[in-house]
Every structure is written in C-alpha cells, then in structure tokens.
Amino acid sequence: MGLLNKILGNASEVSTEQLLQKYGRLLVEGEQIELGFSLLRDVFMFTDKRLILIDIQGITGHYRE
C-alpha cells in the first residue's frame, strides 16, 4: 500500500459502518464498501465496484454537509 499512502497523504481510515450510515444512498444494489478514508472534510470510499470521491467543500468554498 505504499502508493496508496503517498496518494492519500495524512488520510485517516473510517469504518465501513460509519460510511454506510452516512453515504449508503450512493451505493447501487448489491454494492459493498471495502475501505474508506477521510482527509479533512473529503471522503474516499473504495467499493467492490468503484471508487467514490466526496468533496464536501464544493466550488464556492463554503462548507456543505
């Protein structure tokens, strides 16, 4: 995971239960979250089908939840 560590920098791992509770509506039927990271407010989720990147800050620079 050396390459992944270099890409994500100081990201911290988030439990799949927390991610499922907050972002479960983004998953398609049968999709499972494998691994997730949080970097400041942004979230990176690896599922069994795709990579989901969530940029909380958005275009305006104002905090959105």
The predicted pLDDT at position 63 comes to 58
Q: What is the mean pLDDT of residues 26-48?
A: 91
The predicted pLDDT at position 2 comes to 61
Which is more confident, 42 or 47?
A: 47
Q: What is the mean pLDDT of residues 25-44?
A: 90
Q: Is residue 39 a contact partner of residue 8, using CB atoms and an 8 Å limit?
A: yes
In angstroms, rounded to a whole number, what is the distance separating the alpha carbons of residues 35 and 47?
7
Q: Is residue 14 a contact partner of residue 38, using CB atoms and an 8 Å limit?
A: yes
pTM: 0.68
The pair phi, psi for residue 16, each rounded to 5°, is -65, -30
Residue 9 per-residue DSSP state: T
Q: Is residue 58 a contact partner of residue 64, using CB atoms and an 8 Å limit?
A: yes
The predicted pLDDT at position 3 comes to 60
Q: What is the mean pLDDT of residues 23-43?
A: 91
